[in-house]
Amino acid sequence: MLWTCAALSLMPVALAQHSGHDMPGHTMPMSMPAQTAAPASSAALPLRASGATVVAVPPGIGETSVFLTLTNAGAQPLKITGVRSAVAGRTMLMNTVKSGAMTGMKMAAALVVPAHGQLVLSATGDHLMLLDLKRSLKVGETLNLRLLTSDGRSLTVGATVRKP
């Protein structure tokens, strides 16, 4: 799916989705496909999260974005294949794509944190989406998010709800 928007702000996307209308170019279902996880490894996950932020949205808006930096201290790249949160009915991993003067988003099957490197998830780049919010979020509260990796391991991250 590819959503085009004139601004890099994610609020128009959230408002358009909330209105119940399909976004232009929407060709895939809005939920992440079922994935077969590899057996969980007993080794510690060499992944650290910092600056985790959930964008505060007005009451009644059912979608929001999550931004953070992931640092991989390991010798192998790590694939993030999903995110879970008790406050969201669905979640998505998102890639930001540019085509000429247009910027849009598309659902990603995975986001890769390079070996000995970082993946920055931001308002102007790749990010996470929380959809079908089950309640209004309060500025300042911390939400627990669980990032899932392709090898069956996970990382729990505390993300603070902040105004954009």
pLDDT band at 7 (very low <50, low <70, confident <90, very high): very low
Predicted TM-score (pTM) of the model is 0.75
- pLDDT score of 41: 57
Query: Scanning the structure block, which residue is given the tokens 């992440």?
Result: 32
Rounded to 10 degrees, what is the CA torsion of 121, 124, 130, 132? -170
- pLDDT score of 18: 35
pLDDT band at 43 (very low <50, low <70, confident <90, very high): confident
Domains of the chain by start residue, with CATH: 46-96+107-162 (2.60.40.1890)
Please answer whether residues 103 and 96 qualify as being in contact, where contact means their C-beta atoms are separated by less than 8 angstroms. yes
Paired strand residues for 143: 159
- pLDDT score of 147: 98
Paired strand residues for 104: 4, 97
Paired strand residues for 97: 104
How far is C-alpha 47 from the geometric centre of its chain's CA atoms? Answer: 16
Q: Which is more confident, 18 or 128?
A: 128
- pLDDT score of 4: 34
pLDDT digits (tens, 9 = 90+) for 105-158: 999 999 999 999 999 999 999 999 999 999 999 999 999 999 999 999 999 999
What is the amino acid identity at position 80?
A: I
CA distances from 68 to 76, 106, 130, 161 (A): 20, 18, 14, 12
Three-state DSSP class for residue 66 = strand
Paired strand residues for 47: 72
Q: Would you report the helix, strand and coil content of the chain in percent, each value rounded to 5?
A: 5, 50, 45
Nearest to 139 by CA among 52, 54, 61: 54
Q: In terms of DSSP bridges, do strands 47-55 and 154-162 run parallel, antiparallel, or are they unpaired?
A: parallel
pLDDT band at 21 (very low <50, low <70, confident <90, very high): very low
Record the tokens describing residue 4, joined without a space. 């085009």
Query: Scanning the structure block, which residue is given the tokens 């650290």?
Result: 48
pLDDT digits (tens, 9 = 90+) for 78-100: 999 999 999 999 999 999 998 89
pLDDT digits (tens, 9 = 90+) for 57-77: 999 999 999 999 999 999 999
Q: Per-residue pLDDT for 42 more than 80?
A: no
Record the tokens describing residue 55, joined without a space. 């964008």
Region 37-46: what's the mean pLDDT? Answer: 66
